Amino acid sequence: MIRAIIFCMLIFLLFGARETVGQEWFKGNLHMHTLWSDGDAAPEYAAAWYKDNGWDFICFTDHNILLEGETFKPIADESVLTPDCVDALREQFGDDWVETREQLGRLRMRLKTFEELRAHFEAPGSFLLMQGEELTTLGGSPHVNAINSVERIGGLTQDDIAVVTDEYMASIEAQAEAHGRPIVHFLCHPNWSDAVTIEEAIKIERLRYFEVYNGHPAVNNWGHEEHGYPTTDRIWDVVLSMRLKSDPGYFLYGLATDDAHNYHRMGRGANPGRGWVMVRAEALETEALLAAIKAGEFYASTGVSLDNITRNASGISFDIIATPGVSYTTRFIGTRRGFNTESEPVLCEDGEPKPRASRQYSDEIGVVLAETTDTSPSYTFTGDELYVRAKVVSDTPHPNPFREGDTEMAWVQPAIVGQLQE
């Protein structure tokens, strides 16, 4: 008997714990803007904010541009780069760091390139910078982020949203292939100006990652369902269920990002620090982080921390790193096989379909399969689920919410039953 117990313990140590050996959690922001596009801070100011506030990695994703080449930004009281901002940079980084020049009759500051920023900020094992691009459709939606790109792609003019999004993703994948480097792409803020409907999202062939949370206050993460505009959680469940119906290999993972634009006044605009990803990887290195993201080894958070996440053939379980006095509600959400796939349009009072509204789908999609306030929640598959994911909502108010009344949350990636190993 004792021998059997020891044998089981050995097996557990060898195999049960194998997944997490040598792996650590790294905190990152994969969506941010600087003076290179429409952010209000120099890239070094933005990078310093994240480094000083405990982030492990960031990726610059300015609109349709990479941080390269010689670019000078006008310094003026009425400009986003004021003389006070430049003085503050001199104070923070030293007089030699700031480079100004008269050009076309105006005093200007040279923007630091990605390589200069890396040289200044990166420290092996403690802070990592990546470069990317937010492929921004001229005059509207959609927007797609490329993480770890090396060549500018740029935005397209507006066309069919699903087609444009897929073209962006195809160009990003082609660049990854051509350069032999990992580049992750994701759909940004599907609920910014009701940018992407559920039906469009279903049609985006290459869609595998999307922002379930974007910290920009102009984004409607929580939709306005009474008018027919779904939450990002609802988009997630419907797209996943409808795609899995015909493609059992499909997956869709959710990210939380800041989409930071405004670094100088907290509580106003799109601030840093609202939402992030926690990635479980072997090392704080670009390839390891992106491999982990591709494998779904990450969760999205606006303040709740998790550990020991297991998604395997028996179910999902994890631990919440609980703060004393805080209560956490975990909902395991999923869709069962054979669900009702029908949908109806949302109509205006005159009977016409509502512009840009998603269709309404059956309540058999995205069912709350279980709910618990335990701090080590677990869900065991009953055998009829297509997938199960988890969302944790705490009762701690978010310290700087994108929307008033928000509390801290976390999202665990879906465990897709047909794709799991024993």
211 counts as binding Zn ion under rule CB under 5 A: no
CB atoms within 10 A of CB 367: 18
Between 132 and 296, name the residue whose CB sits nearer to Zn ion: 132
Output the smallest distance, CB 59 to Zn ion, in A.
11
Output the smallest distance, CB 137 to Zn ion, in A.
9
Between 172 and 188, name the residue whose CB sits nearer to Zn ion: 188
Which region among 64-72, 85-93, 126-134, 407-415 touches Zn ion (by CB under 5 A)?
126-134
Q: Measured at CB, which residue is nearest to Zn ion? A: 143
Output the smallest distance, CB 282 to Zn ion, in A.
29
Burial level of 322, CB count in 10 A (0-12/13-18/19+)? Answer: middle
How many residues at the interface with Zn ion, by CB under 5 A? 4
185 counts as binding Zn ion under rule CB under 5 A: no
274 counts as binding Zn ion under rule CB under 5 A: no
Between 184 and 388, name the residue whose CB sits nearer to Zn ion: 184
188 counts as binding Zn ion under rule CB under 5 A: yes
Between 37 and 400, name the residue whose CB sits nearer to Zn ion: 37
Between 189 and 280, name the residue whose CB sits nearer to Zn ion: 189
Output the smallest distance, CB 17 to Zn ion, in A.
39
Output the smallest distance, CB 120 to Zn ion, in A.
24
Between 277 and 367, name the residue whose CB sits nearer to Zn ion: 277
Output the smallest distance, CB 168 to Zn ion, in A.
12
Q: Residue 307: CA atoms inside 13 Å, Cβ hemisphere, count? A: 7
Binding Zn ion (rule: CB under 5 A), the pick from 259, 297, 385, 408 is 259
Output the smallest distance, CB 143 to Zn ion, in A.
4
Between 40 and 297, name the residue whose CB sits nearer to Zn ion: 40
Residues 214-233, interacting with Zn ion (CB under 5 A): none
End-to-end CA distance of the chain: 26
Residues 127-166, interacting with Zn ion (CB under 5 A): 134, 143
Output the smallest distance, CB 63 to Zn ion, in A.
7
Which region among 107-115, 117-125, 258-266, 391-399 touches Zn ion (by CB under 5 A)?
258-266
59 counts as binding Zn ion under rule CB under 5 A: no
Output the smallest distance, CB 359 to Zn ion, in A.
24
Residues in CB range of 327: below 8 A, 6 or more apart? 373, 394, 395
CB 207 within 8 A of CB 169: yes
Between 31 and 280, name the residue whose CB sits nearer to Zn ion: 31
256 counts as binding Zn ion under rule CB under 5 A: no
Between 237 and 259, name the residue whose CB sits nearer to Zn ion: 259
Sites of contact with Zn ion (CB under 5 A): 134, 143, 188, 259
